[in-house]
Amino acid sequence: MQYYSLNNQSPPVSFREATIKGQASDKGLYFPTSIPKLDRDLIDNLSNTPDAEIAYRVIKPYVGDTIVDAELYRIAAESIDFPIPLVKVTDRASSLELFHGPTLAFKDVGARFMSRCLGQFVKSGDKKLTVLVATSGDTGGAVANGFFDIPGINVVILYPSGKVSSVQEKQLTTLGKNIHAIEVNGTFDQCQQLVKRAFADTKLNDAIFLTSANSINVARWLPQQFYYFFALKQWNDQTTMPIVSVPSGNFGNICAGILARASGLPIKHFIASCNANDTVPRFLSTGIYNPVESVSTLSNAMDVAEPSNFIRILEIYHQQLDDLKEVVSSYSFSDQETIHMIQRLFSEYNYLADPHGAIGYLGLEKWLADHPTDKGIFLETAHPVKFPDAIKRAINQDVPIPESLNGLLLADKESIKMEPDYNELSSHLQHLAK
């Protein structure tokens, strides 16, 4: 499998090169030259196939021969070495819980997969690799955990000060060793712009070996397809293809699901459920792509005004908006609606959702109201404990602290504070890479 730049000004590269580079030299995102078609027997026998086997068979065409089969199987198995259950909430809606990994967020799968791939790729190198990433919430903790103490890899995480939850902040600022957190006095979009500028800085890239770990990186993005296969494996209604509602911020997760569908996975329709940052819902409604400055919400991991991965979704549908709208709908919801839905799910169905999962359910409920014969799945992308203030506000109760977090919450935070100034970031990156 080769990967080409969506800016079409760089030569195609292998999975290995795409993973190490993160972004093409022309600053475009990498995209596979072809979308592999799934073996029919895999789809027909999902319920009887081990999860590790599913993950390996899904990802193998994208990796090609850049990692030997035995190693790739091990990497795939380690990336999903925790439960991903489909939990019935109502007669027509089930929750795919993606928060049972080490950092209690869906991004654990992609971060673990990517870190292990990069660990393979840098073994023979003599230059330390710096992984640079911006986070609006859960990416930072997942990347920090996934890459912690991996030889030859240095990690720098930018996050907006005061705009991630206390648990999220602890997860990315307390590990030490090769993990470095930079606390930016600004928004996630400003953090993302600083990261993009760093990758575009040829002088900096000559000085340090730089790659990304956001979902712009193919090794972070592609394994997110696994979720949708595991959901279908547990889907018991053989007469109905599910509607899948995905809380969407940077659109990497839903893009992976759409890619899985394009490969042959039987999903009827996707809902991109957004918070007040409604660039994509407005685009699908008007045909005009007009990002505005992002706003802070309770579902902070989705506080993205310019979703990087939306261009990949457009590529899957060859830039044809009408074709895209046949498969994807998108709605936005307010913090007030989010809080009300957390309360409703808890009081009516005894199900505790985090703000992102609540928005996922809101999108699914909106669709199901207009399609009475459909049933669906919403993705619960983070453990409610990561959003204690929102949960307390919604149900007037504290969330029990998982045992795995007890030590984390007592750990000391370590971060480098800076303004959204590129020259300062460049200086920090060169210093940390030594």
Active site (catalytic) residues:
107
Q: Tally the residues of the chain.
A: 434
**Cβ atoms within 10 Å, residue 198:** 22
Question: In this structure, what token pair is assigned to residue 139?
Answer: 């990416």
Of 363, 261, 277, residue with least CA distance to 317: 261
* Edge-first strand listing for the sheet containing 153-160: 209-212, 129-134, 153-160, 179-184, 416-418
By the 8 A CB rule, do 23 and 218 touch?
Answer: no
DSSP calls for 197-215 = HHHH-HHHHHHSEEEE-ST
Bridge pairing between strands 129-134 and 86-88? unpaired
Residues β-bridged to residue 210: 130
**Cβ atoms within 10 Å, residue 153:** 21
Question: In this structure, what token pair is assigned to residue 318?
Answer: 């060859």
What is the CB-side half-sphere exposure of residue 9 using CA atoms within 13 A?
6
Q: Is 63 exposed, middle or buried (0-12, 13-18, 19+ CB in 10 A)?
A: buried
Alpha carbon separation from 242 to 92, 223, 238, 268, 327 (Å, rounded) = 10, 20, 10, 6, 12
